[in-house]
Amino acid sequence: MDLHENVTFEPTMAKQGSMKTASQLRVSASVSRLHHQRSQSQMKQALQQHAQAKRDHLNVLLLGTGACGKSTIMKQMKILYRDGFSKDETAEGVLLCRSNLLSTIHTLVNWCLTTGHHFDKAETRKELQDHEKIIMEHTDDGPPEIGEIIAKMWEHSVGIKEAFRQLTVEGTTLMDSAKYFLDKAEDVFKADFVPTHEDILFTRKVTKGLHLTKFAMDGNKVHMIDVGGQRGERSKWMAAFDHCTAIMFVAAISDYNLRPEEEMEEVLDAGRRSSARNSKSSNKSKTRLDESLDVFEAIANLSFFKEVPIFLFLNKMDLFEEKIARIDMSIYSPGYKGGFDAKAAVKYIKSRFSRRTKNRNAELYIHTTTAINTQSVEFVWKAARDVLLEDKLGKF
Ligand SMILES: Nc1nc2c(ncn2[C@@H]2O[C@H](COP(=O)(O)OP(=O)(O)O)[C@@H](O)[C@H]2O)c(=O)[nH]1
Ligand SMILES: [Mg+2]
């Protein structure tokens, strides 16, 4: 299947009737079906194409569950090996900064309203209620006045600060970039706002379909494919499996205490009904990290990828280091005995991933990363590239 650069496409295979249970991980089952459907000669042809593609360029597939940082890594490649972001991407960045920020302030205001933490002292309450009304009328974009209002609420409202504190402690519904954009609310809504690379790295947009980015480094061509990580998107991944020279599997390790994104509405409802503290009943369920481990296991053990090196990026180290010092991981992973020590926790998580691989011939390389940090991504990517080039030279 051809991939078109910077074009989203919806693979036809994912639309077949057999793929309709996309709400759960179906990659493994889908691929074995695919194996059965293909004749031996088709498989041979695919292998030959794979070898040819490998000689020509490195074909790297970015996989992982939703919001783990795949697209952020792809953005870093554009910063490192292309000229950063195109005009269109920058224009989209403006809208994303604003819509991400509006989504955050809406969550905070809603929390205040539904939990009864109302705004502040009597003398400012009326003004804040007026602000809240204006803010709720804007979902995607707004005039500079909106930025000023958000900045004012963020700086002065005890209720908004309390909502932020509670939602951060619970680590549930706020975007990772919430504070980053709240701190620069006024700038973001200015008419002449141009986002920096850092702003764009902090934006969140759910990826749909598959996106190919091509770049060259030190004379070597690389094709990198980014995918959507949500449950409904995963059945599309296999359209990119052919010709894959390496997998970059991204897992957000700061997710060790979070419920899967797809289940967050449930948590929000629980939070609305009771106080934030009581919504901890979610501890007994699978966490996003557990889900990431399951998806990793399904991918890493496909016979399709037996010979394909996997680079596992344990991402969001910045958030993880901050979190592990205050939220005991053993509550969510009873086997863990390392307390609040980041090193012990990383070691434990690494071993959980390693233990999930079986009968593979190619190596599993594990790195810790902070994808919003360009140097961090450059460092691990260069290490991966060295391994891949050595492999390419060794075999051809
Ligand atoms: N603090 C922090 N935020 C990150 C990191 N990696 C990604 N993010 C943020 O997490 C959100 C989701 O990232 P994204 O790359 O879109 O995830 P994807 O769904 O896997 O493509 C974005 O707002 C990113 O800025 C990280 O290492 N640290
Ligand atoms: Mg994405």
Q: Tens digits of per-residue pLDDT, 81-133?
A: 999 999 999 999 999 999 999 999 999 988 888 877 665 665 566 777 788 88
Residue 18, pLDDT score: 33
Same domain? 224 vs 167: no
* Residue 125 · residue 118 · CB < 8 Å: yes
Question: Do 135 and 149 touch, CB atoms closer than 8 A?
Answer: yes
Q: Write out the E strands in 195-305.
A: 210-217, 220-227, 246-252
Pocket test for ligand 1, best of 204, 248, 254, 374 (most atoms within 8 A of CB): 204
The whole-number pLDDT of residue 15 equals 36
Of 201, 216, 233, at which residue does a domain stop? 201
Same domain, 269 and 135: no
Rounded Cα gap, residues 78 and 371, in angstroms: 13
Cα of 223 from ligand 2 centre, angstroms: 16
- In this prediction, residue 37 carries a pLDDT of 54
What pLDDT is recorded for position 110? 87
For the residues 357-371, what does the mean pLDDT come to?
Answer: 96
Instruction: Output the pLDDT for position 45.
Output: 67
For residue 129, the enclosing domain spans 87-201
- Tell which atom from ligand 1 comes closest to the C-alpha of 65: 20
Q: What is the pLDDT of residue 317?
A: 97
Binding-site residues, ligand 1, Cβ < 6 A: 64, 66-72, 175-177, 201-202, 204, 207, 229, 315-316, 318-319, 370-372
Is the domain of 140 the same as that of 284?
A: no
d(CA 375, CA 66): 23
CA-nearest residue for atom 13, ligand 1, is: 69
Whether 387 and 365 have beta carbons less than 8 Å apart is answered as yes
Q: How far is CA 93 from CA 79, 144, 187, in A?
A: 14, 16, 13
For the CA of 211, the nearest ligand: 2
Residues 302 and 368 in one domain: yes
Output the residue whose Cα is nearest ligand 1's atom 18: 67
Q: How far is the CA of 165 from the centre of ligand 1 (A)?
A: 20
- When the pLDDT of each residue in the chain is averaged and rounded to a whole number, the result is 83
User: Of all residues in the chain, what percent carry a pLDDT higher than 70?
Assistant: 76
> Of 30-39, 263-272, 296-305, 367-376, which gets the smallest average pLDDT?
30-39
Q: Is 208 exposed, middle or buried (0-12, 13-18, 19+ CB in 10 A)?
A: middle
Give pLDDT, residue 119: 57
Q: How many helices (H) and strands (E) does the chain have?
A: 15, 6
Domain boundary among 180, 201, 222: 201
Which of 6-20, 126-140, 288-302, 308-322 comes out lowest in average pLDDT? 6-20
Please indicate, yes or no, whether residues 227 and 321 belong to a single structural domain of this protein.
Answer: yes
CA 315 / ligand 1 centre spacing (Å): 9
Do residues 43 and 165 share a domain?
Answer: no
Q: Whose CA is nearest to atom 22 of ligand 1?
A: 204
What is residue 243's predicted lDDT score, i.e. its pLDDT?
Answer: 85
pLDDT at 2 over 50: no
Q: Which ligand is nearest to the CA of 72?
A: 1
Range of lowest pLDDT (31-45, 222-236, 341-355): 31-45
Looking at residue 144, its pLDDT comes to 94
Say whether both 291 and 247 belong to one domain.
yes
| C-alpha–C-alpha distance, residues 267 and 273, integer Å | 10
The pLDDT assigned to 395 comes to 47
For residue 145, what are its two tokens? 């006045």
For the cut 50, the answer to whether the pLDDT of residue 5 exceeds it is yes
Pick the residue with more confidence: 10 or 244? 244
Residue 49 domain flag: yes
Q: Is the pLDDT of residue 389 over 90?
A: no
372 CA to centre of ligand 1 in angstroms:
7
My answer on whether 250 and 360 are in the same domain is yes
The ligand that comes nearest to the alpha carbon of residue 229 is: 1
pLDDT(187) > 90? yes
Q: Which of 76, 97, 372 to mutate to test the pocket of ligand 1 (most atoms within 8 A of CB)?
A: 372
Between these two residues, 165 and 276, which has the higher pLDDT value? 165
